[in-house]
Amino acid sequence: MEDAELLMEEPVKRFWDRIKIPPEKWQLPPLGDEGGGFWVVAVVGQKCVWYNDIEEGFNISRASQFGQISRYSCNQTDLLIIISNYHHDFLKAIASEA
C-alpha cells in the first residue's frame, strides 16, 4: 500500500487519506472462510475496497453491514489503479448530482 501511496497524484492521495482504514479482515462466506475473511483497506459509505488474496488484487464491493462484504469479485487490480478510478468515478457522480 505504501508504494501505491507514493505514486498517487495529490487529489487522489487526499481522497485516499479520507477513505482508508487500518487493514482489517471482513467476512465474505464461503470464499473468505478459509483465510478468516478478506482485508478491507478503505470504506466509502456502503462500499469497501478490499484485497482478494486468492486472486491477488483489489476490488470494490458493497458492504451489507460493517465487517461484511456483500459480493465476491476476482479482479487483479493494483491499489493505485483502483483508487484512482474510484476517485474519478466519485467526482463524476458528485458532478452529475450538482
- Which has the closest alpha carbon to 18: 88, 87, 93? 87
Burial of 49 (0-12, 13-18, 19+ CB in 10 A): buried
Predicted confidence at residue 37, as pLDDT, reads 93
pLDDT, position 50: 96
Overall domain count for the chain: 1
Residue 8 gets which letter from DSSP? S
pLDDT at 75: 82
Tell me, what's the pLDDT at 67?
A: 95
Question: Which three cell numbers, joined as nine digits, stand for 91?
Answer: 467526482
DSSP-assigned letters across all residues of 26-63: EB-TTTTTTTTSEEEEEEETTEEEEEETTTTEEEEEEE
> Domain range spanning residue 80?
2-97
Question: pLDDT (tens digit, 0 to 9) for every residue of the chain, 98 residues total?
Answer: 789 999 999 999 999 999 999 999 999 988 888 889 999 999 998 999 999 998 899 999 999 899 999 999 888 899 999 999 999 999 999 898 86
